[in-house]
Amino acid sequence: MNKDRFHNHIGQEIGFTVDDWQECQLPSHADMNGHFCRLEVLNVDKHAEDLYHSFSEDTNQHNWTYLPYGPFNDYESFYLWLKDNCLDIDPLFHTVIDQHTQSAVGLASYLRINPKVGVIEVGHIHFSPKLQQTVMSTEAMYLMMQRVFDELGYRRYEWKCDALNAKSRKSAQRLGFTFEAVFRQATMYKGRNRDTAWYAIIDSDWPKIKQAFQNWLDPENFDKSGQQKTKLQMTLDLDN
């Protein structure tokens, strides 16, 4: 992080100049292809059935607790929810496809997209039991980051969650997001309060985070049974 102090002509401290800034593009609808998974923009008729069956493996429905919608008791209501709520450009929902089985096993989206200032958020993350704690889940998040920073040139990538969602908070930190603050009583959902924890990656963080992902995703990091040899290590020095 730049420690230099900047002042205007009357001595007030101000932010550093953003030179040659150009407004970013909106995320494209092109597939994001990895070795283990692929992300496709949600197509309800193509993906809904796979997603419903994948999510149904969460038999106690705990994956729905911190989402503002669901669970759905039947396929028809799930299908209609997808059709009515998940086909906009913001949020832009993506389906995670298992490259081995070619089945849809999870959802994630870009949202609160602000190309003018280069800020975008990842959210509506719902990974089925088939996807959780797999190489695919990590690769999916890497592919979404790669599009944001390398392809589109955004300056800031945000992750927000219920401050009580310990699993989401742990995931954010594992993936390289930096904790910034808790916004108290930020919203309400499902009839209850939500304090919101904010995390972010900025463009100056990305080179180190990208290298950590690439090292971890290297085929040499996995044994013949697919088990990781070394954990994903984010060693960021955000003061430099």
> What confidence tier does 212 reach under pLDDT thresholds 50, 70, 90?
very high
pLDDT in tens, 38-57: 999 999 999 999 999 999 99
By C-alpha distance, which of 175, 177, 169, 40 is closest to 109? Answer: 40
Phi and psi angles of residue 94, each rounded to the nearest 5 degrees, phi first? -120, 145
Question: For residue 239, what are its two tokens?
Answer: 């003061």
Task: Please name which of 10, 37, 25, 27 lies closest in space to residue 143, comparing C-alpha atoms.
Answer: 37
Give the pLDDT band of residue 109 (cuts 50, 70, 90): very high
Segments of the chain assigned E as strands: 6-7, 13-14, 32-33, 37-41, 92-98, 104-114, 119-127, 156-162, 178-189, 192-202
Please give the model's pTM, rounded to 2 decimal places.
Answer: 0.94
Query: Shortest CA distance to 52 belongs to which of 92, 90, 8, 107?
Result: 107
Average pLDDT over residues 67-82: 97
Per residue in 148-187, pLDDT (tens digit) is 999 999 999 999 999 999 999 999 999 999 999 999 999 9
What are the tens digits of pLDDT across the range 13-45? 999 999 899 999 999 999 999 999 999 999 999
Q: Which among 2, 7, 25, 16 is positioned nearest to 152, based on CA atoms? A: 25
185, two tokens: 């009583």
Percent of the chain with pLDDT over 70: 96
